[in-house]
Every structure is written in C-alpha cells, then in structure tokens.
Amino acid sequence: MRTRTLGRSDVRVTELAYGAAGIGNLFRPVPDEEAAAAVDAAWDAGIRTFDTAPHYGLGLSERRLGAALRERPRDTYTVSTKVGRLLVPAEDGGPADDLAHGFAVPATLRRVWDFSADGVLRSLEASLERLGLDRVDVALLHDPDDHADQALDEAYPALERLRGEGVVGAIGVGMNQSALPARFLRETDIDVVLLAGRYTLLEQEGLAELLPEAAARGRSVLIGGVFNSGLLIDPRPGATYDYAPAPEPVLERALRLKEVTGRHGVPLRAAALRFPLGHPAVAGVLTGARSPDEVRDTVRQCRHPVPAALWDELRAAGLLAQDAPVPPGEPEEKEPS
C-alpha cells in the first residue's frame, strides 16, 4: 500500500489508515476476538497506520489496539493517539454506561477536558500505558473547539517540546471543523490535521481554507469521516449524517451522488473513499471498522477503479466543487458494439 510523509516530519502513513473508534465499542459492543481480528485483517491488507484516542470507549480502543499490535515489529507501523481529555474515576451515582457519549462500555471513568501542558503529559503517559508502547508516532489535540486559546498557548507548546525531544514524531490537531485547524496551520508548526467529515464527496468545506493552507505550507491532512457518519454507505430515509438523522436536502444530495456513481458502475462508498486522495495535501484516508469483513470491504472499495468521466459528471451536475482536485481516473470500459 502506498505511503506518504506527514508534513516535514519523518512519519510515514499508509494512504488507507485504520480508525480504532469502532473497537472501542462505538454504538455497540464488539467482542475482544472480533476487535483483534479486525486489526489483523487491516494488517494483512497492508494497512500500517492506526489511529486511536482515550475518548474511544474510555480507553478500551487504546487497550485493544495495543494488544493487537504487540507482537508486530514496532518500527513497521505508525500509531496516533490524542490529547485533551483525561480519564479519571467516575463518581458514585453516575450513569451505568457511556452510551451518552456513543460508546457501549461501563462508565467507570469520566472525561475531563484538559489542554494544559501538564494535561498533555499526563494524557500521553496514560495512553502509552494502555497501548503498552514506549512511544506513539503522532499526537493530536482532540476537539479543542471550546478550548482554542488554552490549546494554542499551553497544549501546543507542550507537544512541540515532545516532538523536539523525539518523544513523538509528528504533532497536530484532530477536529470535525475546518476553521480552527486552519488557524493552527497559520499560527503553529504542526505537521498534520485530521479533518473529519468536512472534506468528502458530500461536502467540501475544507477546500475553502484549510486544504490550500496546508498545501501552501507543506503540511499534511488526514481525512476521516469520508462516509459522513454512514450516509454515503447507504443513503436512505433514516440514515445518519453527523450522528443524527440526515436532513432531507442532505439525503437528497447523497441519493443524487449514488445515482451518478451507479451509472458508472462504481459503488458510492468506493468513490467516497477515493475522492479525498486527489488533493495534494491529503496524505491518507482514515476509516473505522469493527470486523474483518468490514476491513476487507473497505480495502476492496478503496481499490475499485473510478473513471475520470464520473468526476466530470459530478462537476457538471453541481455535486462536486469545480476546483476540487480528483484522483487520476481510469478509462471507462465501453460496452462492445
């Protein structure tokens, strides 16, 4: 599988990365054996980049990912985790589970926002313990939407020091919006932005500011949420968008996308996976999977040929930004006359 370097760092990522939120019991329980098998399937497919966070399942994702990778040679894969939420013991009388935050795990811990320098160090130390690793390759500020000043003034300098000391190889920010990450690109020396849901086949918000900023500064962007919370997997009434039922205009746009891709013999999810890789600032696409079958399907879709005529039709129909770069298209197969 092809790899690219994150910004000016030495950290390399595969163009398809494994997001480990699912094996943190996102929305529903996943057995330990299935979680381990999903990571094994990703490895067998050539994926060597794995993303997790303390937030995912109150540390369950980190523990499971670390266990699944433990016997692999450490210099053969890249792991990213996140800082900004510390896990502390929950008070008595709290909720029995964590489903209010989307994870089917017991609520024995609770999250505390902390973008202080000390919080960064404590978070990484706890993540390393859960992962069973002596280092992570990438550390990302996780969702500092309401903590921008502290993240810029305290958390970022702490990450910069850790990078300078060689404790981490690359640093950045991971968010579901593009404006604040663009500010980080302008005001700091981060290597990478993990942008979730805002540069997809459905919407290209990131194209207005963030992606050009990253390209101009030689930084990298990893794209998550390429299916917009599942809408681009199976657009239908009741399908989710941003973790809520899709509004009618959004669903209608997704159905139009599916109609166009279908005319070219391309599954909608294949086009959704391939599209972001056309931008020169995009180093890779990150997708989650709970099972080996989901991993293998994702890999197949990412490798599915997408003809240039498909991108042309999407532009002509107003379904794709005119200035959105696209991957090189394969010639469309013609029916024999």
H-only helix segments in the chain: 32-44, 60-69, 117-131, 148-150, 156-164, 179-187, 210-217, 248-263, 268-274, 292-302, 308-316
Nearest in space to 227 (alpha carbons), one of 294, 283, 293: 294
Is 56 one of the annotated active-site residues of the chain?
yes
Exactly one of 18, 56, 199, 241 is catalytic; name it: 56
Phi, psi of 155 (to 5 degrees): -70, -45
Structure tokens at 61: 């994702």
Bridge partners, residue 221, by sequence: 193, 282
Q: Indicate left, alpha or beta for 311 from its phi (over 0: left) and psi (-120 to 50: alpha).
A: alpha
Helix (H) or strand (E) holding 201, with range, is: none
CB half-sphere exposure, 169, CA atoms < 13 A: 20
For the chain, how are helix, strand and coil distributed in percent, rounded to 5?
40, 20, 40
CB 215 within 8 A of CB 208: no
Cβ contacts of 65-71, under 8 Å, gap ≥ 24: 65/20, 65/23, 65/39, 65/131, 66/130, 66/131, 66/132, 66/133, 67/36, 67/132, 68/35, 68/36, 68/39, 68/40, 69/39, 70/132
Give the integer Cα–Cα distance in Å for 310 and 98: 42
* Helix, strand, or coil (residue 20): coil
- Positions annotated as catalytic residues are 56
